Amino acid sequence: MTPASLSEPEPAPAPARIVLGVTGGIAAYKACEVLRLLTEAHYDVTVVATPTALKFVGAPTWAALSGKPVSVDLFDDVHTVAHVRLGQQADLVLVVPATADILARAAHGLADDLLTNVLLTTRAPVVFAPAMHTEMWNHPATVANVAMLRSRDVVVIEPAVGRLTGADSGVGRLPEPAEIVEVARRVLQRGVAGLRPDLAGRRVVVSAGGTREALDPVRFLGNRSSGRQGYALAMTAVARGAEVTVVSANVALPDPAGAKVVRVVSAEDLRAAVLEAAAGADAVVMAAAVADFRPVTVSTSKIKKSHADPPALELTRTTDVLAELARPDRPGRLAQVIVGFAAETDDAVENARTKLAAKGADLLVVNEVGNLKGFDVPDNAGVVLGADGSATPVPTGPKTALADVVWDLVLARLPALS
């Protein structure tokens, strides 16, 4: 007999099984990239294409990219009861692109092709990535169908804004494939752990990046924030079912799939955008690094270095956006959870407790920055302080892990949905 210490290693766990539903929209060609990214991440992907999808991208393409036959017809492999088996065995069903038609049929439980049968039989998490013309997305029927699906814990990603077919442009563009895959990965992880999209029905606002205060048309005062933590908060909230608005200050990252992105430059720009987006929101998370000071005067032309002496730089304070959001008399404040971030270099927790009390926020995430910590790195760590005196440490890990802790703490402080 082989001693236990010399026994064979445990076999690797089987890869998660994803059904990739492809429907008949021009954005079907982008689903090819989604499929490539999923297979490169070693997921077991079965493509279920509708007949109209094959008018845009043929079955050989899907088969070549997935390494598996493409499931199309409801009557293929009838002896295996494929229309039931595919849904039962899936760990995630991801529909890219999701047309107005598939959203309507899924919402009303129709099952007249293989994909809609899979959607009815699966008990796995379901993610729709819609793509359609603006008028179709905004039509009351589509709005009602999306609301119905979301009420069943289905994640329907908000479409992006941009070029559509022809010369048209507007909301309805498919988000970038890599960002769709990231949302799907997060939904899959939570589904495997038995966690539902617990932010469904919630509206949240996240600020991200770093503001810039102009000195002249070329130069500015800024900071090293990349926006990674704010975008991780946004993406995680989307995967948990929230309607997300990101106020993005000078971020060079791809837009997080499913989030509305409002771009700003300065602290005053950010203040105006956050206050507008916060109206009716359930939570506001201020992850952006907002300038504390701005120049009193801004030169209308480039400041030349030919000056005998460098010009003196006079600064004035910017508005404290977090304190303004947390003000108890601000309309809607009492129904919201306000979260701030504190980047500290010394005595981090002690300084952050003082800041939390002064700002009036409900939660404050404090993390040490500098020396490859905090800014512009993939990982983060910190302590989330609560106005109730609580302290929740978060060990070093992906910024999405910190984001999940923040949303857990936010949810614990939100009133129940009516």
What tokens does 58 get?
């043929």
Q: What is the pLDDT at residue 371?
A: 56
Percent of residues, the chain, with pLDDT higher than 90? 77
pLDDT in tens, 137-167: 999 999 999 999 999 999 999 999 998 888 8
Residue 261 has pLDDT above 90, yes or no: yes
Q: What is the pLDDT at residue 312?
A: 83
Residue 7 has pLDDT above 90, yes or no: no
Domains and CATH numbers, the chain: 17-192 (3.40.50.1950), 203-413 (3.40.50.10300)
Q: What is the pLDDT at residue 131?
A: 97
Taking residues 203-229, report their average pLDDT: 94
206 CB-near residues (< 8 Å, 6+ apart): 230, 233, 234, 237, 244, 245, 246, 247, 259, 284, 285, 287
Q: What is the pLDDT at residue 81?
A: 60
- From CA 110, how far away is CA 50, in angstroms rounded? 14
Q: What is the pLDDT at residue 306?
A: 72
Which positions are catalytic?
Answer: 223
Q: How many CA atoms lie within 13 A of 314 on its CB side?
A: 4
The most confident of the ranges 77-91, 145-159, 310-324, 346-360 is: 145-159
Residue 2 has pLDDT above 80, yes or no: no
- 375 or 91: which carries more pLDDT confidence? 91
Residue 374 has pLDDT above 60, yes or no: no
pLDDT in tens, 183-214: 999 999 998 888 889 999 999 999 999 999 99
Residue 368: pLDDT band with limits 50, 70, 90:
confident
User: What is the residue whose two structure tokens read 């752990």?
Assistant: 193
The mean predicted confidence, pLDDT, of the chain is 91
Residue type, 358: A
Residue 302 has pLDDT above 70, yes or no: yes
Residue 364 has pLDDT above 70, yes or no: yes
Which of 192-196, 291-295, 327-331 has the least mean pLDDT? 192-196
Residue 1 has pLDDT above 70, yes or no: no
**What letter does residue 54 receive in the DSSP assignment?**
G
Taking residues 227-239, report their average pLDDT: 96
pLDDT in tens, 44-94: 999 999 999 999 999 999 999 999 999 887 766 666 666 788 999 999 999
Q: What is the pLDDT at residue 377?
A: 75
Q: What is the pLDDT at residue 215?
A: 93
Residue 11: pLDDT band with limits 50, 70, 90:
low
Taking residues 372-383, report their average pLDDT: 75
369 CB-near residues (< 8 Å, 6+ apart): 343, 344, 345, 375
The beta strand positions in 174-234, using DSSP E, are 203-209, 213-214, 220-221
